[in-house]
Structure 1
Amino acid sequence: MFGAHTWRCGQRYDETMTLTLAPDVQHHAANAAGRDFVIGDLHGCVDALRYLLHKVGFDAAHDRLFSVGDLVDRGDQCEEALALLDKPWFYAVLGNHEDSLCAVAEGRLARHRWYAIGGGWAQGLSDHALATYAKRLRELPLVRVVGEGETRFNVLHAEFFGDDADLDAGRFDAEVRERMMWGRELAFNAARLPHYALSPTYCGHTPVRELRQIGSQTFIDTGAFIPEGRLTMVEALTSRQWSISVQAARAMGAAEMTLP
């Protein structure tokens, strides 16, 4: 477990190679023209996503899909998952597995340590290819904030202890960044922890059998890469949700379904 280390993947380099930081928080206007969905930890299970998007009649011209992170590792379609970052309707936050990929590309984590937590899909990738992916991942925020007031919801990877004002400020120290990508204290010790005045917040990272809401934070990672697990997608700020296993999705022809 590498929870004791945060590798600061949320970084990018300008043309002079001076280190600059990608914004930790990105804001999006409410979607007045369509629907907003949030997908759980994808972990390279793109066929399950294809099925879910087909199931809800996803309209790429008006709908948006937000991701709680962990696009890669453990599943067998990790490069296809990374390609989603180029879709104009897809908005991800940084997960701990993307953080690990960046750490490898930047020489701060040995490849074999990453492989041990699911990065084995990248064994055939050159250092250059890995660096190209890392460059794109450095642009991802830790948090996406959508809408304002009653239409607001937040998307982040693991957990957050604070209110909307704390989230909006974006001044996250190393400990807070660590918790936002690796933390599981809320999910494991909910009864003993305070709840904060957050708008509805969608998280992943900690696998659950069914969606679990703790205070304002809803955990939607239902273990897509696990044989008995599923990929879950919710429509933001509603009770609507859809889940499918990779095996079931492929049995229903998901591999032939085109992404928007």
Structure 2
Amino acid sequence: MNGPTLPAVCRHPANETGRDFVVGDLHGCVDALRYLLREIGFDGARDRLFSVGDLIDRGTDSLAAIDLIDKTWFYPVMGNHEESLIAVATGTMRREAWYAIGGAWAQTLGHDQLEALAIRLARLPLVRIVGSGARRFNVLHAEFFGSDADLDTADFSDQARTDMLWGRGLALGSVDPARQRGLSPTYCGHTPQRVVKQVGAQIFIDTGAFASEGRLTIVQPGTDERWSVKERWAASEGARELALP
């Protein structure tokens, strides 16, 4: 599989003309996203939406979620579900193992189709760093142990990379939050929460969008503003007819 790749860490200047938001694990729930973007009055020409990854699997429209990466206002990181699709396409993971964690939507896709999707997803970085100084925030998928300076090196061990994509220790309370000393506010997902939850420097914003009682959540960094909606409610309100920016 060949295609362009982004650095492990991508940096973005502070948004001086609009607003920045971060969305939790989408898992194909694009109707909920459409609804929330309307709720917050999102302006695709000025505002930016960062994503903690896991665009695909479990929800209703993984292909539409992948297409979001072509939007100029959308800035996702790699999640473990994207990594799993890539692993299947490159032959390092069995399809059945991926189907068991939510990839069954792709059962009808041929290998060439899956490889084409993998090439697009392989471009996603592990981390996005936004702004600097007191305005800085980080976006990654699961968890990170270290400081901003450690993130800035973009040189991660295999264990650090695994933690960033698959780790749950911090969210589940089995890891000391002091291991994040010197880390700016860091938005992540991966481990579903009933409500947005902060542990040390990390803010967990995956509220289970794909689940019947879960919601998709968007937050505005540096504020207490947050918006959530159930996918089925968004669909019942005609969200599919709403145009994306």
Q: State the TM-score bracket (shorter-chain normalisation).
A: over 0.9
Q: CA RMSD in A?
A: 1.3
User: How many aligned positions are there?
Assistant: 244
Could you tell me how far apart the structure 2 residues matched to 1:119 and 1:191 are?
Answer: 29
2:168 maps to 184
Instruction: Name the SS of the counterpart of 1:102 in structure 2.
Output: helix
1:7 maps to none
Given the alignment of the two structures, is residue 206 of structure 1 paired with residue 195 of structure 2, yes or no? no
2:151 maps to 167
| Structure 2 unaligned regions, length at least 5 | none
Match of 2:77 among 69, 75, 93: 93
Given the alignment of the two structures, is residue 225 of structure 1 paired with residue 207 of structure 2, yes or no? no
2:105 maps to 121
Could you tell me how far apart the structure 1 residues matched to 2:174 and 2:149 are?
Answer: 22
TM-superposed CA distance for 1:22, in Å, is 3.6
Using the size of structure 2 for normalisation, the TM-score is 0.97
Instruction: Name the SS of the counterpart of 1:48 in structure 2.
Output: helix
Match of 1:67 among 35, 38, 51: 51
Given the alignment of the two structures, is residue 51 of structure 1 paired with residue 35 of structure 2, yes or no? yes
Could you tell me how far apart the structure 2 residues matched to 1:193 and 1:151 are?
Answer: 21
Between stretches 187-196 and 52-61, larger displacement belongs to 187-196
Judging changes above 3 Å, is the alpha-carbon distance between structure 1 residues 21 and 175 closer, same or farther for their aligned structure 2 residues?
farther
1:250 maps to 235
Q: How does 1:11-30 map to 2 (within 5 A)?
A: 13=2, 22-30=6-14
Judging changes above 3 Å, is the alpha-carbon distance between structure 1 residues 28 and 231 closer, same or farther for their aligned structure 2 residues?
same
1:107 maps to 91
Match of 1:130 among 74, 96, 114: 114
Q: Which amino acid in structure 1 is aligned with residue 57 of structure 2?
A: D
Could you tell me how far apart the structure 2 residues matched to 1:178 and 1:153 are?
Answer: 21
Could you tell me how far apart the structure 2 residues matched to 1:157 and 1:191 are?
Answer: 17
TM-superposed CA distance for 1:190, in Å, is 5.6
Check conservation: 1:190, 1:214, Cα contact below 8 A. no
Match of 2:23 among 39, 42, 48: 39
Judging changes above 3 Å, is the alpha-carbon distance between structure 1 residues 171 and 55 closer, same or farther for their aligned structure 2 residues?
same
Given the alignment of the two structures, is residue 238 of structure 1 paired with residue 227 of structure 2, yes or no? no
Could you tell me how far apart the structure 2 residues matched to 1:36 and 1:219 are?
Answer: 17
Q: Which amino acid in structure 2 is aligned with residue 219 of structure 1?
A: F
Using the size of structure 1 for normalisation, the TM-score is 0.91
TM-superposed CA distance for 1:203, in Å, is 0.4
| Structure 1 unaligned regions, length at least 5 | 1-11, 15-19
Could you tell me how far apart the structure 2 residues matched to 1:197 and 1:207 are?
Answer: 25
Query: 4+ runs of 1 displaced by more than 3 Å?
Result: 190-193
TM-superposed CA distance for 1:186, in Å, is 0.5
TM-superposed CA distance for 1:71, in Å, is 0.2
Check conservation: 2:169, 2:175, Cα contact below 8 A. no
Could you tell me how far apart the structure 2 residues matched to 1:96 and 1:67 are?
Answer: 13
Identity across the alignment (%): 58
Instruction: Name the SS of the counterpart of 2:243 in structure 1.
Output: coil
Instruction: Name the SS of the counterpart of 1:61 in structure 2.
Output: coil
Cα deviation per residue 1:114-165 (whole Å; 9 max; x = unaligned)? 0000000001111111111111111110000000001110000000000000
Given the alignment of the two structures, is residue 150 of structure 1 paired with residue 130 of structure 2, yes or no? no
Could you tell me how far apart the structure 1 residues matched to 2:150 and 2:219 are?
Answer: 25
Cα deviation per residue 1:62-117 (whole Å; 9 max; x = unaligned)? 00000000000000100000000000000000000000000000011111110000
Match of 2:63 among 79, 97, 115: 79
